[in-house]
Structure 1
Amino acid sequence: MPRYEFRCRACGDTFEVNRPMSAAGEPATCPQGHADTVKLLSTVAVTGRGAGTAPAPTGGGCCGGACGC
């Protein structure tokens, strides 16, 4: 289930809410009971490589060095 981050405008607390994507736009109440919250824009970072993944090509040129230019 996706996790959404919110910030309370009343107390400044930042908190997370797990909810289905169908409820992503619904308002959330902060843990202190305040209703004036805003959903924060989240970024996704993917790091590392899975097993069996070929290494990315290195080098310069127009195509990453694969054509030898």
Structure 2
Amino acid sequence: MPRYEFRCRACGTTFVETRPMIASSDPAACPAGHSDTVRLLSLGGVTGRAQAPAPGGGGCCGGGCCG
């Protein structure tokens, strides 16, 4: 089940809720009881590191197979 991150506008608390995708846009109450919350854009499913571009001499395919 997906996890959604929320932030309370009243106290600034950030919290996570696990809920079905069909309920992703439902309101969430802050653990402190406030109701003015907003769902955050989360990149929780993105892992790993960016890779540097492959070295090459240019051209359409990196200079390795073009003539």
In the alignment, the residues of structure 2 paired with residue 12 and residue 63 of structure 1 have an alpha-carbon distance, to the nearest angstrom, of: 49
Q: Which runs of 5+ in 1 are unaligned?
A: 49-57
Please report how far the alpha carbon of residue 68 of structure 1 lies from its aligned counterpart in structure 2 after TM superposition.
5.3
Query: Amino acid of the residue matched to residue 59 of structure 1?
Result: P
TM-score after normalising by structure 1: 0.72
Q: May I ask how many residue pairs the two structures share in their alignment?
A: 61
Question: Residue 54 of structure 1 aligns with which residue?
Answer: none
Please report how far the alpha carbon of residue 46 of structure 1 lies from its aligned counterpart in structure 2 after TM superposition.
2.2
Please report how far the alpha carbon of residue 17 of structure 1 lies from its aligned counterpart in structure 2 after TM superposition.
0.4
Alignment root-mean-square deviation, CA: 2.2
Q: What is the aligned-residue identity percentage?
A: 62
Match of 2:55 among 55, 59, 66: 59
Query: Amino acid of the residue matched to residue 63 of structure 1?
Result: C
In the alignment, the residues of structure 1 paired with residue 30 and residue 63 of structure 2 have an alpha-carbon distance, to the nearest angstrom, of: 51
